[in-house]
Amino acid sequence: MDKESTRLNGKDLINVGIFTAIISVMMILISFIGFIPYLMPTYCIFMPLLIGIPWMLFATKVNKFGMVLIMGILLGIVLMLTGMGWYAMPLCIVVSLIAEFIMKSGDYKSAKKDILAHGIFSLWVFGSYIPIFLTAEQYWADRGSYGEEYIATAMSIFQPWLAPIMIVACFVFGVIGAWIGLKVMKKHFVKAGIV
Amino acid sequence: MIELKNINFVYGSESAELIASMDKSAAAQDPAADAATTLDAGLQDEQAAPKALRGDSSDADGRLHDVNLSIEDGQFVLITGPSGCGKSTVLRLINGLIPHYYPGTLNGEVKIDGVDIASQELYETGLKVGTVFQNPRSQFFNVDTDSELAFACENRGMDPGVILDRMSATVERFDIESLMGRSIFRLSGGEKQKIACASIDVGDPRIVLLDEPSANLDFDATMRLRELIRLWKEQGRTIVAAEHRISYLWDLIDRAVIMSSGRIVADLDTPESRQLSDAQLAELGLRTTTPESPSEVELPAVGSDDAALTLNDFRFSYRTGLFAREKERRSKTAEPTIDFSGTRIAMGKVTAIVGPNGSGKTTLLNCLCGLERRCKGTIDLNGEACDRRALRGKVFMVMQDVNHQLFTESALEEVRISMETNGEQADDDALHHILAQVDLDAFADRHPMSLSGGQKQRLAVACALASGSDILLFDEPTSGLDYRHMQQTADLMKGLREMGKTLVVVTHDSEFIRSCCDCTLAIKNGRPA
Amino acid sequence: MSGIGFGFAEGRKADGSGARRALLDPRTKIALLVTMPTVLLSGAGGSHTAPLAIVFALVAAALLLSCGNIATAVFGILAVAFTQALWTLLAPLASGGAYMSLYLMHGIMVHLIPCMLMAAYAVSTTTVSEFILGMEKLHVPPLITIPLSVMFRFFPTVIEEATSVNDAMRMRDIRLGGRNVGKMVEYRLVPIMMSSLRIGEELSAASLTRGLGAPTKRTSICEIGFRAQDIVVLTICAFALVAVFAIMFGLVS
């Protein structure tokens, strides 16, 4: 069988669909934590952490350009269909592209690059928060910056400065999650001879 | 006209991975799964665990040796033989999945009407050849039945009007009007296979391939499948079927090609040649050629003086409306209420549970092992009334898809976690002993998913033994198994019975029932019949 | 989520005929899903758009009711009413951190709920085939529509597998908490992924033999198209977006 080197074939597309389905279901299940609003920022911890496992398995099927990008776009669509709006889409596209280039630079064979790529890719989780932070911005715009007001609210969540922290968290836990994913892969999938 | 000339084929290591992850049906011995053996030492990935021997399978691994086969137009050919003989491989050569999907080393030619298949793209071959696979759950691409029927033709870019006409013709011919406009997820296994067949039919293929289509179907559904296949035969299509369960097709076929270890060992193309005695069948590794409904197998019911466990208050109703779970909605045939109160199950014996699909067999099993939350009944076991929680410790179910219940990274670990549910600290000797009881001690360090179907089943049994359960439940343990492995499973049951365990087996396999079951419990409409 | 099956009113055929053809073209629904959040988050953002959000929520709920999704509609309205009541009653009393929390919760809810209701409507009245056809007509390439179809088809499968694995764990009496959480996740995820891989391989083979991936342009038995109601809705959306941009860029105040 000659390798159609760069064209994505039916099997690749189906793989993207399957793994995106798995990741979407995980995302939706984890998002139930958000029922308690104060726990919402923890998405940036748990989602990248857990999604790292299917990601590494997916990475073994990725050997052409485009699969990760399509996954990113699909996740953007899923976010839109769950009512999170279209804000995540540009973010998804950007991080997918960066992840693509990272993985490609390792010739699709480097586990380290796959891990790094997941760190970046995980920023998509932040996509759901964009409207929240915009709302928070609005709050401050309304209230001006009354000194005591600021101090009084310093303990509450969703300060604008929380955003960079969450973004970094997505990256860090994305890397950790993928690293765990690699361990799981070796322990199970490689040992079982499936990979 | 299909021609296979001088075929020699070996699956590549990539294929072995593909097929290793494709464990066909619950306990099937997928021939090529056993292919990931020492085949391709040269191609082994250094970081991968050595794909060591897969134990108790035959030497065959789906590869083919010197296969020559010609099939005339309109012939109905059955290809059969023990697991690993290569029958699925032959089908894959005809529909082009080899070499386009399953890479490997292919020597020889495969031609349809003089056109070499290997050089054609899959979608081109798909115009002439339609394939029905064995797993109803994984063949369909769409979520609703109409789209699924239209799928093949839509891919070809056909005009929608023409597609709709063809769909109507198929629906009428197959009598599946009641299945239209529905979600495929809510269909039963048999209905899904009907849709699979229909979706092929709309594409009007000259050649129809069937890869163990009845493996996951019960007796009635298999008979209905047979009707569809008969329709195809009447239309003059060329049909090539690979099957273990040959009884439902034996009288329809024109020709039976028997394979073993990758070679054709017999080509029976006259009805006389197909009159085989039981001994001959056994020697060829084949299942019976006489169809028999499981309910026809005469076995005693539980005697009143036999030691038995009695079910008390085993009843509940399906939820309807908003909170109905998917599984419940699927059972359109069953009454909304299940009632097994007063049913007695013989202890220390093997009881077969038979009944039509949707009659509540699996529900009964779920209740028996304490899984079904809304069943509040208890079981009288040795004078003790056991509720749901107690049952969980005493009853172990080997599920239809054993893959769902094996989680760890080695057989030893798997048995260990079962032993620990007993509250005992597991010491390695005890664990090895249990594995030895099911003949798996040599595989103690192997990953459960690298085992063959039959081995996984035995591993599950080992876990049952480790958990101290005295009652073992089995859900269709022999679907898709060839003769030898079915016998092995029957022997396993007998061995467990000798240990004093009580076995309850949901099965539609009459040969199996005859081989090892002591009594039957017939179920109909959620109640004992 | 039983009320929100993807696309399903049983009896409706994929080609749009049968019991009821959907009210709106899938592309119109996409437009709504894009416009609504944009408007709600426009310059005025958050709590300011509360009245507008309530209107949207009501509209979405009405649509949901029209397609029979009573539970979701009612739930959505109650959620909006509850949040709004909470805000109106408590805000004047709160200050500092509590006030900001309330403000944010109110702002988030008010923004999210109408969008989610709208999404629920879109999802429950569009079959996958119609959705894909809509995207194809918007010139979305098969590179995206095929994985999208597969994804939708695979959701219920993942859930089925997960349920089965969960049942298996319960049956073997392996409990959460007794062992560390990591193993719990591992024990669930790994079999699910293995199963999914397996099903995926079989699905690929079956689909490829039926012509998936052929270079010809796919046709579809679905019928979609813009009708009067679509034009109306699309015009409103267009106006809304123009208004939003105008406000944002200060052309209008």
Q: How far is it, in rounded angstroms, from Cα B88 to Cα B91?
A: 5
Q: How far is it, in rounded angstroms, from Cα B526 to Cα B359?
A: 5
Mean pLDDT over the full length of chain B: 83
Q: How confident is the model at residue A96 (pLDDT cuts 50, 70, 90)?
A: very high
CATH topology of domain B2-38+55-128+205-284: Rossmann fold (3.40.50)
C41–A contact, CB cutoff 8 A? yes
Contact residues on chain C for B449, CB-CB shorter than 8 A: 194
Region B412-420 average pLDDT: 89
| pLDDT number for residue B36 | 34
The segment with the largest mean pLDDT, out of A139-153, B143-157, B260-274, C79-93, is B143-157
| pLDDT number for residue C96 | 66
Is residue B25's pLDDT more than 50?
Answer: no
Nearest-neighbour CA in chain C from B275: distance (Å): 35
Nearest-neighbour CA in chain C from A26: distance (Å): 10
Tokens matching residue B79: 């290809």
Region B336-362 average pLDDT: 83
Q: How far is it, in rounded angstroms, from Cα A98 to Cα A23?
A: 19
Region B376-383 average pLDDT: 79
| pLDDT number for residue A143 | 59
Q: How far is it, in rounded angstroms, from Cα B147 to Cα B149?
A: 5
Beta bridge partners of C24: none
Phi, psi of B389 (to 5 degrees): -65, -45
The 3-class SS string of B354-415 reads ECCCCCCHHHHHHHHCCCCCCCCCEEEECCEEECHHHHHHHEEEECCCHHHHCCCCCHHHHH
Phi, psi of B404 (to 5 degrees): -75, -15
| pLDDT number for residue A144 | 54
Region C25-46 average pLDDT: 77
Beta bridge partners of B211: B242
Is residue B40's pLDDT more than 70?
Answer: no
Percentage of chain A surpassing pLDDT 70? Answer: 83
- The more confident residue out of A138 and B361 is B361
Residue type, B76: F
| pLDDT number for residue B370 | 84
CB count in 10 Å sphere of residue A189: 23
Mean pLDDT over the full length of chain C: 79
What residue in B sits closest to A4 (Cα-Cα)? B100
Domain residue limits, chain B: 2-38+55-128+205-284, 294-528
What residue in A sits closest to C100 (Cα-Cα)? A153
Q: How confident is the model at residue A141 (pLDDT cuts 50, 70, 90)?
A: low
Q: Could you tell me which chains touch chain A, where touching means 3 or more CB pairs under 8 A?
A: B, C
- The more confident residue out of B327 and B294 is B294
Pick the closest to residue C199 from A189, A70, B133, A77 (CA basis). Answer: B133
Q: How far is it, in rounded angstroms, from Cα A57 to Cα A71?
A: 14
Is residue B308's pLDDT more than 90?
Answer: no
Distance between the two ends of chain B, CA-based, in angstroms? Answer: 50
| pLDDT number for residue A158 | 57
Phi, psi of B264 (to 5 degrees): -85, 120
Tokens matching residue C252: 């209008």
Cα A36 to the chain's mean position, in Å?
A: 21
Q: Which of C171, C201, C218 sits opposite B155 (nearest CB)?
A: C218
Domain residue limits, chain C: 26-127+222-248, 141-208
Is residue B480's pLDDT more than 50?
Answer: yes
CATH label, B294-528, candidates 3.40.50.300, 3.40.50.1370, 3.40.640.10, 2.60.40.10: 3.40.50.300
Question: pLDDT tens digits for B507-525?
Answer: 989 999 999 999 888 888 7
R_g of chain B computed on alpha carbons: 24
Is residue B31's pLDDT more than 50?
Answer: no
Tell whether the torsion through CA atoms of C30, C31, C33 and C34 is positive or negative: positive
| pLDDT number for residue B11 | 86
Is residue A43's pLDDT more than 80?
Answer: yes
Region A85-110 average pLDDT: 92
Name the 3-class secondary structure at B122: helix
Contact residues on chain C for A53, CB-CB shorter than 8 A: 189, 193
C221·B399 Cβ contact <8 A: no
DSSP string computed for A112-142: HHHHHHHHHHGGGGGGGGHHHHHHHHHHHHH
Nearest-neighbour CA in chain C from A194: distance (Å): 9
Region C104-128 average pLDDT: 81
What residue in C sits closest to A61 (Cα-Cα)? C197
The ipTM assigned to this model is 0.86
Is residue A21's pLDDT more than 60?
Answer: yes
Instruction: Fill in the DSSP letter of residue B78.
Output: E
Q: How confident is the model at residue C3 (pLDDT cuts 50, 70, 90)?
A: very low
Pick the closest to residue A37 from A110, A178, A132, A138 (CA basis). Answer: A132
Q: How far is it, in rounded angstroms, from Cα B16 to Cα B10?
A: 10
Q: How confident is the model at residue C122 (pLDDT cuts 50, 70, 90)?
A: confident
Residues in chain C: 253
| pLDDT number for residue A174 | 95
| pLDDT number for residue A156 | 53
Region B238-249 average pLDDT: 93
Parallel, antiparallel, or unpaired for β B344-346 and B76-80? Answer: unpaired
Question: pLDDT tens digits for C197-212?
Answer: 899 999 999 999 999 9
Question: pLDDT tens digits for B135-173?
Answer: 999 999 999 999 999 999 999 999 999 999 999 999 999
Question: pLDDT tens digits for C15-24?
Answer: 444 445 678 8
Q: Could you check whether B2-38+55-128+205-284 and B294-528 share the same CATH topology?
A: yes
| pLDDT number for residue B29 | 34
| pLDDT number for residue B28 | 33
Q: How confident is the model at residue B240 (pLDDT cuts 50, 70, 90)?
A: very high
| pLDDT number for residue A160 | 67
Cα B9 to Cα B5, B67, B89: the distances in Å are 12, 9, 9
Q: Which residues in chain B (54-113) have CB-CB distances under 8 A to chain C?
A: 95-97, 100-101
**Contact criterion met (CB below 8 Å) for C80 and C26:** no
Q: Which of B169-178, B187-196, C82-91 has the lowest mean pLDDT?
A: C82-91
